[in-house]
A = this chain, B = another copy of it.
Amino acid sequence: MADDGPLKMADVARLAKVSMSTVSRALADNPLIPEDRRREIQRIAAEAGYVINQSARSLRMRKTQTIGVVFPLGHDVGQLISDPFFIEMFGRLADEITTRGYQVLLCRVTDTSEGWLNRIIQSHRQDGLVIVGQSDQHEALNQAAESYHPLVVWGGHLNGQTYCSVGTDNIGGARRAVDHLLGLGRKRIAFLGMLELPEISLRYEGYVRALRAAGIEQDPALVIPAHFSFETAYEAARELIESGTEFDAIFATSDIIALAAIQALAAAGMDVPGQVSVVGFDDIAIAAQSTPPLTSVQQDLAKGAKTIVDLLFKRMAGEDAPSATLLPKLVVRKSCGGTSAG
């Protein structure tokens, strides 16, 4: 019984024959109320099926017990968050956040006009923000971070960056991947990815450095723009193949792009790793299962997510947490030939 109308705290107070103040304090386990009475009130509230109205609580306390997770997608707007990498990151973040007793609000940004981030921040819907991927919003992030502290970004560490970020050493990871290909004797290495994205441009930097260190001249024809979706990446790879440009290896800036490239190569009758070696980035779960299994630069998402959330909570507590960089690891599988040559 008594589960008809939505119960308010005043109702519980009436039931327990005390004031609202006392109920509020009792439910909050405030030691101002003697322990036995606290228990009693909690029991009465639970029995009546009473639950604190979070809207009211949030307003009064000026906190929501909620963390917003944002995927800017300044590029690829309106798309489903489909890349397994993002998805896994989201899952891990959700785990870390809920473990700490907070809720997760997914913010899909559909309107990236001037001030989009400020609009999210000022809505006060969340106590802190995780931004997954800088997209092309570096400047907006810098600006927002100036006055809003509880904010951590997953992405590369860029020049003139004032916000707190957590990310893999993109340059180093790419460098290691390309070095590996070079070690296998590959010389015409194609680069697939969108240079407009900061993280990708860092990977490009690693690619360039590896080539330079090996004394190999880089060929602009080998740098191909490719989005994160399977279809567009497949298309990009197909064009590379049909262009007639010679190449003996592909460094793809995400596993999805790598897998799409392998399919495109197979469709064109080219053997992987016989004719072309392929390396991906992220080391998502499917990488190990594909045919052939994919060599990839592994990002430790579990650790990344934990670091992000740790830093965020520090910042929410007013401390000033610094950015962090994770070390990538090259996982060698069959897609690039020799099991561990080089």
Q: A residues engaging B (CB < 8 A)?
A: 3-4, 6-7, 46, 49-56, 58-59, 62, 64, 66, 80-82, 84, 87, 91-92, 94-95, 98, 103-108, 110, 115, 118-119, 121-125, 147, 230, 259, 263, 285-286, 289-291
Could you tell me if A51 and B119 are in contact, using CB atoms closer than 8 angstroms?
Answer: yes
Q: Which of B7, B80, B119, B290 contacts A95 (CB 8 A)?
A: B80
Contact A80 B103 (CB under 8 A): no
Which residues of B sit under 8 angstroms from A52, Cβ to Cβ? 123
Residues A124 and B94 in contact in the complex (CB < 8 Å), given A3-B147, A106-B106, A290-B289: no
A-B contact pairs, 17 of them (CB 8 A): A4-B147, A6-B124, A50-B122, A51-B119, A51-B122, A51-B123, A54-B123, A54-B124, A55-B62, A55-B125, A80-B92, A87-B87, A94-B106, A98-B110, A103-B106, A259-B289, A286-B286
Contact pick for A123, options B53, B108, B123, B290, CB 8 Å: B53
Shortest CB–CB separation between residue A266 and chain B, in angstroms?
11
CA of A58 to CA of B58 in the docked complex: distance in angstroms? Answer: 10
Residues of chain B within 8 A of A103, CB atoms compared: 105-107, 125
Alpha-carbon distance between A259 and B6 when the two chains are bound, in angstroms: 47
Asked if A55 and B51 sit within 8 Å, CB to CB, the answer is no
Cβ-neighbour of A122 out of B6, B80, B98, B147 (below 8 A)? B6
CA distance A28 to B123 in the complex (A): 15
Q: How far does the alpha carbon of A65 sit from the alpha carbon of B50 in the complex, in Å?
A: 23
Chain B residues closer than 8 Å to A105, beta-carbon distance: 66, 103-106
User: For residue A107, which residues in chain B have a CB less than 8 angstroms away from its CB?
Assistant: 103
A9 to chain B, nearest CB (A): 12
Q: Are B94 and A108 in contact (CB under 8 A)?
A: yes
CA–CA, A82 and B40, complex, Å: 40
A200 to chain B, nearest CB (A): 22
Report A186 CB to chain B, min CB distance, Å: 25
B91→A122 contact, CB < 8 A: no
Closest chain B residue to A115 by CB distance? B49
Residues of B within 8 A of A98 (CB): 108, 110
